[in-house]
Every structure is written in C-alpha cells, then in structure tokens.
Amino acid sequence: MTKEDFLEGQLLLVDKPLGWSSFQAVNKLKWVIRKKFNLKKIKIGHAGTLDPLATGLLLICTGKFTKTISELQGQVKEYTGTITLGATTPSYDLETEIDQVYATEHITSEFIIDTTKHFLGEIAQRPPVFSALKKDGKRLYEYAREGKEVFINTRMVTVSEFEIVKIDLPKVYVRIVCSKGTYIRSLAHDFGAALNSGGHLSELRRTKIGDYNVHNALDPLDFEEKMLGKV
C-alpha cells in the first residue's frame, strides 16, 4: 500500500494481542505508517474498544475512513470466551482479584444450557464499574480504583446467540453474538448469579464484527515487519 492509500483511507483488520490496550494497537500502527512514509501526522482510530485482557478483532481506520468508525461500531459482534463459575471479581474479569467464592456442586449441564435462554434477545444489562464509560465527566474505572461507589444505570442490549461450546466445570466455554454496547464481562457475572453461584470472565476473544473476521486480521507486530522489514 502507498502513502496515498493510507491518507485517502484504509480499513485495517488487527488481531489485538493479549495485554495490549486498543489504544496501544492504534498507536503501533500509527507509528509504523508515519515511519514508513515519513509522515508528520495521519488520522487513525479504532471502531470498538477491546479490554487489555481480551484478544481478537480490532478494526482500525485511517484517513477518510475514520468517518466510518461510528457505522462500524454499530455492527453485530461475535465473541468466544470462558466463564469461570464459583467466584466473582469486582471487575467481572481477571483484571482484579477474586472477592467472593460460591458453591458449584448444584450446577448441572442442563441447568447451564437452560439458563442461557434467559440471556437471549433484548436484555437489561448493567455495565461493569471497571469500565471506560463516563459518569459526570470521569471514567467509571477511576471511581472504582478510588474505592468510590457509583450508581450505574442498566441499558438495553441484544444477545442473538449464546452457545455453550463446552462445559468443564468450573469453566464454561461460550460463543456469543451480540449488539453494540454489550459487556461480555457483565454477561459472565450475571450468568453466574443466575446459576445461584458466582461467575467471572476468564478469557475473551472477539472473532467477528459484522462481516469482518479475525481470520483475516494481522498481528500489529506482523504489520510492523511487513511495512518496515525486520526490526
């Protein structure tokens, strides 16, 4: 691709590595493109944040394609992941330590599969307090890290598919297709509660956004090597 291609606009499919923030992935591509073409600046942004502990598909737009970000963010998304039952964490995932443990002996495969039905269609969901959503001009995770309690309103999201791929208690492997704004962490937490236990998200991978598939995505470091050669 040429300098003009990137300035005019490109949609880049990135497979975000574990531990990277979405911002880091965008910055890596921005640095590579600027270095390759000796550019002082280039417009670049992503369509839909992935938590550092999640991997998978991140859509990154350059140039005039940044105008399509909100449209891309609205696309249906598919995730695969692991819900670990019997314990909760304040962040609903592994970003924070386990705060409570619960019994799981009563949980059967039938109970798990039956419970997924309560999370299909349009559901009310409360976002995690450890999230980047803003309240009164401040990120929710900032309140959480300060130990301040803050009330978060529920919002309506749509879960069109909730498939149980494998059960190996306390782990439940899932595939979920959902609308924009759905927090899989909250789904894991609420799913555990519905099973009269606890639950948290222990692994997450975004596999699709609309028609875009992670199979066609490139690791940011591979993109760097492709553009700049061995570094």
Which residue in the block uniquely carries the two structure tokens 């998200």?
A: 201
Contact indicator for 205, 214 with CB cutoff of 8 Å? yes
Instruction: At 132, give phi and psi (nearest 5°).
Output: -90, 5
Q: Which of 15, 51, 93, 190 is an active site residue?
A: 51
CA 154 to each of CA 98, 123, 137, 158, 181: distance values in angstroms, whole numbers, following the listed order: 24, 9, 18, 13, 11
Whether 81 contacts 176, CB under 8 Å: yes
Euclidean distance between CA atoms 141 and 102, whole angstroms: 25
Q: Is 51 a catalytic residue?
A: yes
> What would the two tokens of residue 229 be?
């050669």
Element (H, E) at 231: none
Please count the other Cβ atoms lying within 10 Å of the Cβ belonging to residue 5.
12
Residues marked active site are found at 51
